[in-house]
Structure 1
Amino acid sequence: MKASLEIKSLEETTSDVFIKSWTEASVGSLNASTPFSSLSVEKEFEGMKSELGSDYKKNCLVIFYENQPIGVTMPQIEQGTIDEGRLFYFGLIPSFRNKGWGQYLHNVSLHLLKKMGATYYIGATGQNNIPMQRIFQANECELIERKFIYKLIT
């Protein structure tokens, strides 16, 4: 099943394919209130480039199955560290969710982080994102902290 999997960086595909795949993967996300608007995806893209630095094209990956985009992952070594692996973003296009792809592709992302020099991984998700919490557990990630985030609108 997974033999037809291909991972292409932004160096190997177009920014249009990457942005379209990233936008589709954000649809229905349990971590976001709404999918990207056409304006916000451009802002997110610029913010991501700033966060990932000059090598961003190597870290922006579209995952293809049978030549069809199925998800996006953005592995990185956290700025200011030499070995802390993070995923700036990880998500599946909705039609590929709930089919076992999430756990598998997250595990692939963890292996990519290891190849980049990560000796450990820090991942986070929202309290309502039970599928991602299950992926962390299935891939043997250990829960180390729960956060409470507050907002005041004035």
Structure 2
Amino acid sequence: MKLFSTIKKEKEYWLVDQVKRAQAHERDYEEEFQGLLKDWNDQEVDYLSLLMDDTYEARLVKKGFHKVSVIVEYTLDLNTIQRQKSDISPFVLAACEMSDETFANLYEQCRSGSANKNNLFTIDQIMESFELELGPNWRYHCMIFQKEGEPVGISIPHIEPGMRGEGRLFYFGILPEWRDKGMGTVCHQHTLDALKEFGATYYVGSTDAANEAMIRIFEKNGCVLRDRKGIYRIDRLSTV
């Protein structure tokens, strides 16, 4: 029974997310995480970023972690959504003339001024991570939203590895000049449609608990609060 999902980049980072299972006990999580933490330390990776229930916070702090922020998770049954008409057109990077460099620039603009506190990577590191986390066809996951020929925002939907039918977003963002105009809700609807086309049966979206704009988008599109987790980080020079 897998209790943590992990994305690894050799010697640089591990991104670890607690998988909550009804049949698992605290002891099960403690034992598996202790083994995972030992492996991370033995392999001399620079840092580990962890999403975990904050009931474990005191124990994590004792192990050398510090708290970065809190995220909220929302979920939606994708069988309940209906395709919406809008004047926003979605395109995928693989099927348009936009260069990777232009897409990276859009990504950087979309995350400027974000309420999310867990900005781990530079834009170059993010672009490098696409193939690692999304596979060689990553450009088919990168959506660009346009209104009257002008970019509005971007989204990167995918199926969560090892989680059958679970749709997630690697990233979702709206350009600063288009915020507070209802564009986020519409672009998010298009993204949910894309997840359904990918074969997802349900959606799990997460954002920083302080990101009120994204939480409003979740709620307007019918998503319901599922969970809260702390974001914790430990660096290799810390004591484990």
Q: Same fold (TM over 0.5)?
A: yes
Stretches of structure 1 that go unaligned for 5 or more consecutive residues are none
Q: Does 1:53 align with 2:135?
A: yes
Given the alignment, which residue of 99, 110, 115 partners 1:30?
115
- Residue 58 of structure 1 aligns with an amino acid whose one-letter code is Y
Identity %: 36
Write the mapping of 1:4-153 to structure 2, written as runs, cut at 5 A.
Answer: 5-11=88-94, 12=96, 13-32=98-117, 40-151=122-233
More helix by share: 1
Q: 1:35 to 1:144 in 2, by over 3 A?
A: closer
Structure 1 Cα separation of the partners of residues 119 and 165 of structure 2: 33
Does the aligned pair in 1 maintain the 2:90–2:190 contact within 8 Å? no
What's the CA shift string for 1:14-48, capped at 9, x where partnerless? 11221111111011111146797xxx211111112
Counterpart AA for 1:26: R
Q: In the alignment, is the contact (CA less than 8 A) between 1:78 and 1:84 conserved in 2?
A: yes
Shift of 1:8: 2.1
Hey, what's the Cα distance between the residues in 2 that align with 1:80 and 1:140?
25
Normalised by the length of structure 2, the TM-score is 0.58
Per the normalisation by structure 1, the TM-score is 0.88
Distance 1:50 1:152 in 2: 22
Q: Distance in 2 between matches of 1:33 and 1:140?
A: 25
* Equivalent AA in structure 2 for residue 116 of structure 1: F
Q: Distance in 2 between matches of 1:99 and 1:90?
A: 16
- Structure with the greater relative contact order (CA < 8 A, sep ≥ 6): 1 or 2? 2
Q: Which moved more, 1:42-51 or 1:88-97?
A: 42-51
- In 2, the alpha carbon distance for the partners of 1:128 and 1:113 equals 25
Rate the CA distance shift 1:15–1:128 in 2: closer, same or farther, 3 A. Answer: same
Cα distance change, pair 151–61 in 1 and its aligned pair in 2 (3 A): same
Q: For residue 62 of structure 1, report the CA deviation from its aligned partner.
A: 1.3
Radius of gyration: which is bigger? 2
Distance 2:215 2:163 in 1: 25
Could you list the runs of 5+ residues in structure 2 that have no partner in the other structure?
A: 1-84
Give the aligned length: 150
C-alpha distance after superposition, 1:29-73 (max 9, x if no partner): 11146797xxx2111111122111122010011111111111010
| Residues 55 and 34 of structure 1: CA distance in aligned 2, closer, same or farther (over 3 Å) | closer
